[in-house]
Amino acid sequence: MGKNLIQQKRGKGSPSYRRHSFNAVGQARVENRGSAVILAFIHSKMHTAPIARVKYEDGEDGLLIAPEGVRTGQRILIGESAPLELGNTLPLKSLPEGSLIYNIEAQPGDGGKFVRASGGVARIVGKTPTGVMVQLPSKKRKQFNPECKASLGVVAGGGREEKPFLKAGIKFHYAKAKNRYWPIVSATAMNAVDHPFGGKRTSRKGRPTIAPKNAPPGRMVGMIRPRHTGRNK
C-alpha cells in the first residue's frame, strides 16, 4: 500500500509546513532615504536578530536589523557620503578592506539579503575591478557588485545558540512559532501507515532497507536494490 512520506508532504508546500510570514512584524530592509532615527527595539517571531523600528528623515517608518552597540535615539546614516561608524550603511565600494559588515545586498537596492541572522558578521577581504570580495560567516567567499550596500557592525543577539533549550517543551514552542517540523522522528520509529520502514510487530523494529525493484519514486527509500545476492563467484 502506498504511503505519503513526511518528505512528500513538506515538499508539496501545503500550509501545514509553510512558514507563517504573517507572524513577522514586517520586512526589515534598508531604504535609501538619507538617514533614520532609532525609535525602539522590538522582537519578531520570524527573525533571530532584534529589530529596530526607525523613522526616516522623510517621516516614513521602517524596520532594520539591529547591530550590536546601537541605542534608542541614535541616528543612522545611509548613502555613499555616510561616515564609517557603527550602524551606518554604505556601498561596498566605499568601505575599506577588513571592514566588518552585515545585511549585504545581493543586487543594488534590494534592501539586504545576506548576513542577517543574530551574531552574523562578514568581512571585506579584497577589491577587484569587477567586484568586492566578501568572506561570509560560513567562511565562503563571494563577489558582490560594488554598488551593493552593506551596514557596518555585527548583528545583535550573538550567542543565541549557546544557550541550551533544557526541556522539550521549550523547543516545541520555539519550533511552533516558526512552523518548523519538529521533533524529527526516524523512519523505523514510525507506524506502519506512515513509512515503509514503520511498524513494530517483531522484536526488531522496522523493515529491510532495500527498496523493491520496481518501486515508484515515492517508495524509493533506503538502500539501492543490489543487482544480485549471495557470494561472488
Does any domain span residue 4? no
Domains in the chain, number: 1
Quickly list H helices, 116-201. 168-177
pLDDT single digits (tens) 20-71: 888 889 999 999 888 999 999 999 988 999 999 999 999 999 999 999 999 9
Does any domain span residue 25? yes
Got the DSSP string for 162-186?
A: GS---SHHHHHHHHHHTT---S---
First-to-last alpha carbon distance for the chain, in angstroms, is 37
Stretch 197-226: mean pLDDT: 68
Q: Is the pTM of this model over 0.95?
A: no
Q: Which of 91, 188, 83 is nearest to 144 (CA)?
A: 91
Among the residue ranges 6-15, 54-63, 64-73, 81-90, the one predicted with the least confidence is 6-15
Does any domain span residue 29? yes
Does any domain span residue 50? yes
pLDDT, residue 165, reads 94
Does any domain span residue 21? yes
Q: Which of 34, 121, 134, 33 is nearest to 93 (CA)?
A: 134
**SS3 call for 94:** helix
What order do you get walking across the sheet with 75-77 strand by strand? 61-65, 51-56, 35-42, 75-77
Does any domain span residue 52? yes
pLDDT single digits (tens) 152-166: 999 999 999 899 999
Rounded CA-CA distance 82/35 in Å is 9
Domain of 52, CATH number, reads 2.30.30.30
Domain that residue 64 falls in = 15-161
Does any domain span residue 36? yes
Does any domain span residue 136? yes
